[in-house]
Chain A
Amino acid sequence: MATRKKSLLKVIILGDSSVGKTSLMNQYVNKRFSNQYKATIGADFCTKEVVVNDRVVTMQIWDTAGQERFQSLGVAFYRGADCCVLVYDVTAPNSFKNLDSWRDEFLIQASPRDPEHFPFVVLGNKVDLDNRQVSTRRAQQWCQSKNDIPYYETSAKEGINVEMAFQTIAKNALEQEAEAEVINDFPDQIILNSQNNRPGNPDNCQC
C-alpha cells in the first residue's frame, strides 16, 4: 500500500485570539486544562500518536497566534497540512463571524491541490460557560454551507467532545493525506520521521 509510507499527519488550528486553541490542543494531548495559558506568539506544536483505521499515526498539531498581524508568518507551516481546525468561542459572536476569513486565509496560504474538498473541522469551544451567544443551528448552517464541514461543540476546560473531535480530525486528515500521497503532491516533504525524537514519550507538548 502506498499510504503505508507516511505516518505523520499535519493539523493546523486557527481562530481568533482567546477562543481556546492552545487549551484544546493541551486537553487533547495532555488531558490537562490550565487557566494560566499565555497568549501564543507565532506558533507552537504538539505531537500525539493516534490509532486511526487500525493504523498508528503521529499527529502533529500546530497551534497558532490569534492576532491577525501574525497571519503572514503562517505560510511555512500551513503548507502540507492534512487538516485545518477552525475554532470559535460560542460566547463570542465575532469569533464565529471571523471563521469565514480564517478559512479563506488558510486556503490562500496553504493552496491545497483541491481547495473544494480540503478537510476542515469546526469546533465551537467553551460550551461550559453560561453566556452562550452563537446557537448550534447557526453554526451548523454555516458548516453545511461550506461543503458540510464536520462540527463539534467542545469544552477544553471540561474535556467535552475534545477526544471525539480530534478522532474526526485525524480520520479526515488521514484520508486527505492518503489522497495527496497517491497523487504524489508534496514528495519533498513526505520523508518526515520526527516521531522518534523523544524516545519513550511519543506525545509531547512544550506548552
Chain B
Amino acid sequence: MNHVDEIKIDQPALSFEKSPESDEEHRKRLEIEELIAQSEHHNIPLNTLQKLALTPYGLVNDNLRRILWPQLAGVDVNTLERAPTLGELQNHPEYNQVVLDVNRSLKRFPPGIPYEQRIALQDQLTVLILRVIKKYPNLRYYQGYHDVAVTFLLVAGEEVAYAIMEQLSTTHFSECMQETMEATQRRLMFIWPVVNFENPELYQFLQRSTVGTLFALPWYLTWFGHSLNSYKAVVRLYDYFLASKMYTPIFVTAAILLHRSSEIFKEDCDMASVHCLLSRLPEDLPFEDLLQTSSMLYDKYSLTVIEKEVEVLILKEKEQRIAEEKMLLERRKKLTRSASTNRSYSIGHWLPNLLKSRSLLVTTAVSIVVGVCAYYYKNQYLAPGIS
C-alpha cells in the first residue's frame, strides 16, 4: 500500500468503517491497487475508473477514494489553491445560515473524534462552502449542500474537497443551487414516469396517496448523505454518483421505490402515511442491487421521453388543482349564499313578492275581503251579545 500512503493529505484519515473487508471487497481492492501501481502518476483511465466506481463495492475504502475521487470528479490535484481564512469570509450574506447548518452537522463526523479536531474540520467546512458560493455568485447555498461538502471534506481534505465541490456545483448541483427550488421540484417528478413504466400499479397507488416528492428531496439534494446513517453506504453511493451522469439520484430513488413496493402497498393510501414510510430509509437496503437497477433504468429510459411524460403530468396536476379550487370556491359561495338567505329569510324572501304590483293587488283584495267578512261576522253574531 506504499503508493497509497505517498499521496499528500491535509489531515489524518478518518474512518468509520468497522466491518471487516469481505472477500469480494478484498478482491476488488487488490484489483484497484494493482491498477494504480501500474498507472503513471496514479492516473487510471477515466473509463476504467468509472466502471470501478459503478460496479459492486465501488472504490472499496477511503484510502483509495482519497486518490480516485478527484480523478473521477475531473479535478487536478496539482493546481489546488490555498484556502482563505474564515475571517475573510465572515461578511458573506450566507455566512450565518452556513454556520447554523455546519454547527448541526455533528452526526456526520466520526463518533469519538477529538473536540479540537472536530471544531477545526467544521471551520474548514464553513470556509469550503463559502468559497464556492463566493466564487459563483449565481449559485445559492441550500440546506443540505453542507451534507455533500462534509462527505468530501472527511475523505479528501480541505483543498481537494473544495475543488470537487466547485466542479459539482457547476454541474450536478447547479439546478439545486438556483434562486428557487422550482427546477429541483420539477426534476424530482422524473421519478414518476420511471416508476409508472416499471410498475404501473405502484405508480397509481403513490399518485392516489398524493404523497408528492417531498420525501425524496433530501436524498436528491445531498446524494443521500443527509438521510443514511451508515457512513459506508454514503461513500459507496458517492462513488456511484461521481461516476454517473447528472440526475442519476432520480433513478436510484425510483429503484428504491420499486424495491419497496410490497411494503408500500401495505400502507394506508394517504399522504401522511406514505410520506412517513418512504422518508425513512430502511437500514438494510441492498444498495449494490439497487445501484444495478438504477443503471439499468437509466439505460432503459431516455430523459427526453421521461421529460415529456412529466410535462403531461404537470399539466394534469395543474388542471386538477384548478378544478379543486373552483369546487372549493363554489362550495364557499354556496355556503355564504345559504347563510345569508337563512339570516334574512323572513324579510328578504317575502319583500320582493310583496312589492310586485300583481301580488300587491291580490294582497290588498284579500285584506279587504277579510275585513268585510270580519265586519259582517261581528255585526251578525257578536253584536247582540255585546250590547
| CB <8 Å contact, A113 and B332 | yes
Q: How far is the CB of B182 from chain A (nearest CB, A)?
A: 7
- Considering the chains assembled together, what is the distance between the CA atoms of A204 and B140 in angstroms? 34
Given A45-B272, A72-B181, A184-B331, residue A38 in contact with residue B100 (CB < 8 A): no
Given A39-B104, A41-B144, A73-B181, residue A194 in contact with residue B268 (CB < 8 A): yes
- Considering the chains assembled together, what is the distance between the CA atoms of A77 and B217 in angstroms? 14
| CB <8 Å contact, A70 and B143 | yes
CB 8 Å contact bits of A49-67 with B (1 = contact, 0 = none): 0000000000010000111
- Contacts of A36 on B, CB cut-off 8 Å? 104, 106-107
Closest to A18 in B: B100
Most chain B CB within 10 A, of A39, A66, A77, A204, is at A39
- Contacts of A43 on B, CB cut-off 8 Å? 214
Given A17-B100, A44-B279, A67-B97, residue A72 in contact with residue B182 (CB < 8 A): yes
Closest to B210 in A: A76
- Considering the chains assembled together, what is the distance between the CA atoms of A76 and B226 in angstroms? 22
| CB <8 Å contact, A194 and B270 | yes
Contacts of A1-33 to chain B: CB distance below 8 A: 17-18
| CB <8 Å contact, A183 and B221 | no
> Looking at the complex, which one of B100, B103, B181, B273 makes contact with A69 (CB distance below 8 Å)?
B181
| CB <8 Å contact, A38 and B276 | no
| CB <8 Å contact, B107 and A42 | no
Closest to A186 in B: B328
- Considering the chains assembled together, what is the distance between the CA atoms of A184 and B182 in angstroms? 32
| CB <8 Å contact, B143 and A67 | yes
Q: How far is the CB of B314 from chain A (nearest CB, A)?
A: 14
The count of residues in chain B whose C-beta lies closer than 8 Å to any C-beta of chain A is: 43
- Considering the chains assembled together, what is the distance between the CA atoms of A183 and B217 in angstroms? 35
| CB <8 Å contact, A42 and B214 | yes
| CB <8 Å contact, A41 and B272 | no
- Contacts of B179 on A, CB cut-off 8 Å? 69
| CB <8 Å contact, A206 and B276 | yes
Q: How far is the CB of B227 from chain A (nearest CB, A)?
A: 9
Closest to A204 in B: B276
- Contacts of B104 on A, CB cut-off 8 Å? 18, 36-39
Residue B222 CB within 8 A of the other chain? yes
| CB <8 Å contact, A39 and B100 | yes
Residue A196 CB within 8 A of the other chain? yes
Residue A185 CB within 8 A of the other chain? yes
Residue A131 CB within 8 A of the other chain? no
Residue A101 CB within 8 A of the other chain? no
Contacts of B206-241 to chain A: CB distance below 8 A: 210, 212, 214-215, 217-218, 221-222, 226
Closest to B101 in A: A39
> Looking at the complex, which one of A60, A69, A72, A73 makes contact with B140 (CB distance below 8 Å)?
A69
- Considering the chains assembled together, what is the distance between the CA atoms of A186 and B335 in angstroms? 13
- Considering the chains assembled together, what is the distance between the CA atoms of A188 and B328 in angstroms? 10
- Considering the chains assembled together, what is the distance between the CA atoms of A69 and B279 in angstroms? 20
> Looking at the complex, which one of B107, B210, B275 makes contact with A38 (CB distance below 8 Å)?
B107
- Contacts of B106 on A, CB cut-off 8 Å? 35-36
- Considering the chains assembled together, what is the distance between the CA atoms of A70 and B141 in angstroms? 12
- Considering the chains assembled together, what is the distance between the CA atoms of A192 and B268 in angstroms? 9
- Contacts of B244 on A, CB cut-off 8 Å? none
- Considering the chains assembled together, what is the distance between the CA atoms of A15 and B201 in angstroms? 39
| CB <8 Å contact, A17 and B97 | yes
Given A70-B143, A206-B279, residue A192 in contact with residue B270 (CB < 8 A): yes
- Considering the chains assembled together, what is the distance between the CA atoms of A69 and B140 in angstroms? 9
Given A18-B104, A41-B222, A41-B226, residue A73 in contact with residue B272 (CB < 8 A): no
- Contacts of A38 on B, CB cut-off 8 Å? 104-105, 107, 226
- Considering the chains assembled together, what is the distance between the CA atoms of A176 and B331 in angstroms? 18
| CB <8 Å contact, A76 and B214 | yes
- Considering the chains assembled together, what is the distance between the CA atoms of A156 and B15 in angstroms? 33
Closest to B266 in A: A197
Residue B142 CB within 8 A of the other chain? yes
Residue B135 CB within 8 A of the other chain? no
- Considering the chains assembled together, what is the distance between the CA atoms of A204 and B272 in angstroms? 12
Given A18-B104, A73-B185, A206-B279, residue A42 in contact with residue B268 (CB < 8 A): no
- Top 7 closest A-B pairs, CB basis? A41-B218, A42-B217, A194-B273, A18-B100, A39-B101, A39-B143, A41-B144
B contact residues vs A (CB 8 Å cutoff): 97, 100-101, 103-107, 140, 142-144, 146, 179-182, 185, 210, 212, 214-215, 217-218, 221-222, 226, 267-268, 270-273, 275-277, 279-280, 324, 328, 331-332, 335
A contact residues vs B (CB 8 Å cutoff): 17-18, 35-45, 47, 60, 65-67, 69-70, 72-73, 76-77, 113, 183-186, 188, 192-194, 196-197, 204, 206
